[in-house]
Amino acid sequence: MEEQEWPIISIYSRKEAVADGVQVLADPKITKEAGFKFPVYMTQSVWNKYVEVPKEYEGIQDIEGRLWDILTMLRYSASRCDSNIVEFKVSVTLPDQGDWTKYEKMCGESRTQRLVSLSSEIGPNEYDDLSPVITVSLPNED
């Protein structure tokens, strides 16, 4: 059977995803300090819920600290994995507003401390320049 090439209908680059707010580039200074050699992107859903500081915690927490927590757990998990996909968990403080997802579990006795399952993948920046990038997402996101 002869292989058939299919025409490309559309390409959505990472640059376009960042411009549209679908992905967020984590602060390169922080990711470098955390030991990452390549840029780290996060899906909007991960960034908005787990990195952005909820109003209830403004002045108590900051974006850098919350980002650092995720990067630390990713780096720790990646150091024990030989795959380009790394599943990991991180504890995040969130107000208990009934917005739990299937990727969150209570961490201890507090309903404000959630153990969140995340996924990361290292791969080429396919439609931009093919350089390696890391993308952190919820386990069901592509």
As a whole number, the mean pLDDT across the chain is 91
Q: What does the DSSP assignment read for 97-112?
A: SS---TTEEEETTEEE
Q: How many CA atoms within 13 Å lie on the side-chain side of 72?
A: 9
Domain presence at residue 40: yes
pLDDT at 81: 86
| Statement: residue 16 has pLDDT above 90 | no
Note whether residue 26 is domain-resident: yes
Mean pLDDT throughout 119-123? Answer: 93
Q: What is the pLDDT of residue 18?
A: 86
Q: What range does the domain containing 43 cover?
A: 14-137
pTM of the model: 0.87
Domain for residue 21, yes or no?
A: yes
Count of structural domains within the chain: 1
